[in-house]
Chain A
């Protein structure tokens, strides 16, 4: 089952690469503008041992991870506070729904003038973009905590805070983790886009932007994009694996219910 899924995935990747190669080789697309897939992959392989490029990747990952971590802490805390009283939850709901669809990229100018260092500004944008999916998931998860579980602990004399820590938080954790996983992908897009748009020469986005200017090196540009995509894939895979491990009880419960 697992092996056949991996095998099919590999077939899909090979097929996509073959199509990309053919489109260029047959002259359907200008080879000057879009280099063939084999060239892009060779460049990507070269870049994987290029210390300067790896430093750029490191810079991107640092900003992304910092923003994601801050967003997780802030969103879970805010979720707990907003869930503590029904009126507070209702009052906050509209504010959240208005702020949430604002694309983080629309706030780039604001971030540039508000923060002295570029990486601070980028972290702030990642933080902004990542907060919403985590906050929304936290709010819904806390609202749906089983009242019987809460009553059970209360009947054994546990107070409000103890019930929050021992029931509400653990039972919400799988949904919060899903929010974090969604936020991780969103955050990666935001950090690369910010680097790309806001100028500067650092990060994966900075590399992409540099390889596009002055005549352009589309093979390097696309190779950089391949790495950005792989980074996203790895992040998603790691978070999914962590969720499966930590929340085995949750998966077992939902499987038993269906």
Chain B
């Protein structure tokens, strides 16, 4: 087994004449939480879709756990930004969480038990019999996180998961992701446009550039654990890192060249 969970080599993707990603390469060690930030149009979502096997890249390859991706990999789950569109409104919360488990086999009772367990782990015990539209936005996003967790993926992809919730809920959900990462030890790729968030949750921040998209910088984050919304954000290292990332993102419209900070 390779030490890297994910290896992206020379990944290129174009929509017609427009090249979104060009010769992008990235290594993600097992168990790491990587934040991916970049200006809009840098191909963040395309990158995630290529890894998830939803989009077949024009060139290059994505290797997951030693196997080149061809189609949707089994050991992976995605949390989308649009929770209200990603959850099925005709199913109860519990059935939404249990649905992907059909692919894993097991009896109906086992699937339901696993769904209830995942709901409890995101603080939604007792909400299983409700319908998604009866819950608040933040709770709905918790349901999609629970759905991903119940599936027990070795790689969790999150596409701007907290882009449509209010600030307080956003902080709660960031801490939820940190706790899940610590407890389950899964590898997480979190795409965000929020620079503070990328530093707060990440073990490493990857900054993407635009025209064409590619890795512009990779910054390891060495902040004291456990992270805390108040003290971590006031930490001098946090402040200097977020300034650095911010500068990189602002300048990221310029042609891509890789800078590695160690």
Contact = CB atoms under 8 A, between A and B. Distances in A.
A170 B86 contact: no
Interface in B57-90: 72, 74, 76-78, 80, 82, 85-86, 88-90
Interface stretch (A16-24, A35-43, A147-155): A147-155
Contacts of A250: 89-90
Contact of B88 (A154, A157, A170, A252): A170
Nearest to A174: B90
Interface residues of A, number: 20
A154 B72 contact: yes
Interface size, B (range):
20 to 34
B66 to A, nearest CB: 19
A158 interface: yes
Dominant secondary structure at the B interface: loop
B131 A249 contact: yes
Between A148, A157, A256, the greatest number of chain B beta carbons within 10 A of the residue's beta carbon is seen for A157
Contacts of A149: 85-86, 88
A167 interface: yes
A171 B86 CA distance: 12
Contacts of A158: 100, 103
Nearest to A167: B88
Given A148-B80, A151-B54, A151-B80, A156 B88 contact: no
Contacts of B89: 249-250, 252-253
B103 A148 contact: no
A152 B90 contact: no
A156 B80 contact: no
14 contacts: A148-B82, A148-B85, A148-B86, A152-B78, A154-B54, A156-B99, A156-B151, A158-B103, A170-B90, A249-B133, A252-B89, A252-B133, A252-B134, A256-B133
Interface of B: 52-54, 72, 74, 76-78, 80, 82, 85-86, 88-90, 99-100, 103, 131, 133-134, 151
Those 3 A-B pairs whose CB atoms lie nearest each other, nearest first: A156-B100, A148-B85, A155-B78
